[in-house]
Amino acid sequence: MGDTLDVDAMVQRFRERAHAVRERPLPPIAGEERQRFIRQAELDHMDYAIIGDATWTLEDGVLTLRVDLTS
C-alpha cells in the first residue's frame, strides 16, 4: 500500500474538501432542516480541516497522522 498511497495528495484532498464545505451555498431550506444542514456542514468542515492540517509518517506499513490540537 505504501508504494501506491500518495498521502500528500490525500491530505490535500481533505484540505480541498474543507474549503468546498466552507464555500458550499445553503440550499433553499428553512427552520429545523436548515439548522441540521448548517450543523452537518460545520462538522464536515471540522473533520476535513483536521485531516487536512495533519502531518504524517509511514513506518513499517503503518500510516500515522499527527494533528496539533493546541492552536
Per-residue pLDDT of 3-26, as tens digits, reads 588 999 999 999 999 999 999 998
Nearest-angstrom CA–CA distance, 54 and 50: 6
pTM: 0.80
Average confidence (pLDDT) over 29-47: 95
Residue spans of the domains in the chain: they are: 7-66
C-alpha cell at 16: 480541498
Identify the pLDDT of residue 4.
82
Say if residues 7 and 51 touch (Cβ distance below 8 Å): no
> Cell 474549503 belongs to which residue?
19
Nearest-angstrom CA–CA distance, 52 and 26: 23
Higher pLDDT, 71 or 23: 23
Identify the pLDDT of residue 5.
85
Backbone angles phi, psi at 66, to 5 degrees: -115, 125
